[in-house]
Amino acid sequence: MAIKILREGKAIFKTSIGDENNQINLKTAFYNPKMKLNRDIAVGLLNALCRWNKEQIKVLEPLAATGVRSIRFALEVACVSLVKANDVSKRAYEVLKQNIELNGLKEKILPYNYEANFFMLLLRGKKEYFDYIDIDPFGSPIYYIDSSIKVIKSKGIIAVTATDTAALCGVYPDVCLRRYDAVSTKTSFQHEVGLRILMGSIARHAVKHEVGVEFLLSYAEGNHYRTYFTIHRGKASCRETLEKIGYTIYCKKCFWRKTIKRNLEFNLKHCPRCSEKTVYLGPLWTASLGHEKMCESLMSSAQKEGVPVSKKYFSLLANLKREVEGTPTYYNLHSICSRLKISPAKKSLVIDYLRNKGFKAVETHFDPYSIKTNASIQEVEEAVFNVKT
Ligand SMILES: [Zn+2]
């Protein structure tokens, strides 16, 4: 049986090369088809970048595996002039080289075979900088943030995928503490906490290098978190970045929560609503997850460039557009109704009720039975009760 040629977007590629009957000579690279949406959005974002800047874009992918992401950038984004694609595995590197040839991209994509951090520092030594860097490792991306900041151009964009969501969202709090220097625990809005701890950690890495960060788009999807950020050099930007890092204080008993800035209100040890002991989650990113305009651009770029994207692409971005600039936590209506010992309230009715009371209330992409609102837990409970009667 011959090794299959796969397709994703405009790319064709193999995950293995060599003799299938001889495992010793078979060379393979990791490919996860579930990350197609992640790559579709990256293509959409680079196309949006092309429209804004109308300049040539130089891309770096330090953990390239099969190279499918780099190949898609080269084929689907007109202004990408050069991609440097690297993988530490010798076998993956051989697959990557063949896939580049298969797509006729030898002039546009250059393959390398180094450890990712070593490669980025080597490029820094040569004073080579990039407009866009995509960090997509297996597990935590945090080991690569320092090096990527050293080779990004001013106002360039770094994209980061994290698949260690269990550590970030509080399933493994000790791992989160070691890896991200942050406290996480299971809550009814744990995926937003996980994503914001990742963002906060990235921001704290960045300021060490005298650069501030601006997050353009961040979301949770499937089994991963994803964030795109741009950097701004200088002390003022660092100060502004640090002001957006803080903590969410949470009561596990009654779901009261409050998000605070760094070093403020560290004495709120008991819930003002029910007197239960509170937990401090973070440090985490307390400002917006991105820009509404970025979501709009991504939706229109997919239509204009004719990139073959799924329905999920548009539904995710439409959801994000509603909530990226909203409050830093969400309310899970199941948990609230269950605590109040009432049957689940209909989400759309709760949203309408809160809006009629003058609050902002929207669905959230984090969880199908949760809402984001600037109303307090008391007001959400009142809404839940009233739509039941
Ligand atoms: Zn409480």
Q: Where do the structural domains in the chain lie, given as residue ranges?
A: 6-244+287-323, 333-388
Neighbours of 21 (CB within 10 A): 8
Ligand 1 centroid distance, CA of 192 (Å): 20
How far apart (Å, rounded) are the C-alpha atoms in residues 83 and 92? 17
Centre of ligand 1 to C-alpha 376, Å, is 12
Question: What is the predicted pLDDT for the residue at 16?
Answer: 86
276, 238 contact by CB (below 8 A): no
Please give the pLDDT value at position 1: 55
Q: How far is the CA of 271 from the centre of ligand 1 (A)?
A: 5
Q: How far is the CA of 250 from the centre of ligand 1 (A)?
A: 8
From 3.30.56.70, 3.30.2270.10, 3.40.50.720, 2.60.120.260, which CATH number describes the 333-388 domain?
Answer: 3.30.56.70
Whole-angstrom Cα distance, residue 376 to residue 81? 50
* Cα–ligand 1 centroid distance for 255 (angstroms): 6
Q: How far apart are CA 247 and CA 260, in angstroms?
A: 5
> How far lies 332's CA from each of 121, 137, 252, 305, 383, in Å?
44, 31, 13, 37, 13
Q: How far is the CA of 218 from the centre of ligand 1 (A)?
A: 29
pLDDT number for residue 385:
93
Tokens 């669905």, residue?
Answer: 363
Q: Name the residue among 218, 217, 157, 145 with its Cα closest to residue 181.
A: 145
Cα of 253 vs centre of ligand 1, distance in Å, is: 5
Convert 3-20 to b/e letters by CB count within 10 Å (16 or more is b): eeeeebbebebbbbbbee
Q: How far is the CA of 299 from the centre of ligand 1 (A)?
A: 40
Distance (angstroms) between ligand 1 centre and the Cα of 256 equals: 5
Q: CATH for 6-244+287-323, among 3.40.50.150, 2.60.40.420, 3.90.1150.10, 3.30.70.260?
A: 3.40.50.150
String of DSSP letters for 74-134 = HHH-TTEEEEEEE-S-HHHHHHHHHHHHHTT-TTTEEEE-S-HHHHHHHHHHTT--EEEEE
Quick one: which of 8, 35, 48, 33 has its CA closest to 221?
Answer: 35
d(CA 274, CA 254): 7
What pLDDT score does 263 carry? 63
Q: Tell me the two tokens of residue 296.
A: 């709009």
How close is the Cα of 385 to the center of ligand 1, in Å? 18
On the question of a cis peptide bond just before residue 283, with omega within 30 degrees of 0, the verdict is yes
Cα 272 to ligand 1 centroid, rounded to whole Å:
7
Q: What is the mean pLDDT of each successive set of 10 residues along the chain, which is 389 residues long? A: 84 85 77 92 92 88 97 96 97 95 98 98 98 96 98 95 97 98 96 98 97 98 97 96 96 96 78 96 97 93 71 93 95 96 95 98 96 97 89
Burial of 341 per CB tally in 10 Å (0-12, 13-18, 19+): exposed
Q: Phi and psi dihedrals of 85, rounded to 5?
A: -115, 130
Cα(225) to centroid(ligand 1), Å: 29
Distance from residue 321's CA to the centre of ligand 1 (Å): 31
- Which residues touch 190 (CB under 8 Å, ≥6 apart)? 169, 170, 184
Please answer whether residues 223 and 208 qualify as being in contact, where contact means their C-beta atoms are separated by less than 8 angstroms: no
Query: Global pTM?
Result: 0.96
Instruction: Return d(Cα 130, Cα 153) in angstroms, integer.
Output: 5
119 alpha carbon to ligand 1 midpoint, in Å?
Answer: 49
- Distance (angstroms) between ligand 1 centre and the Cα of 380 equals 14
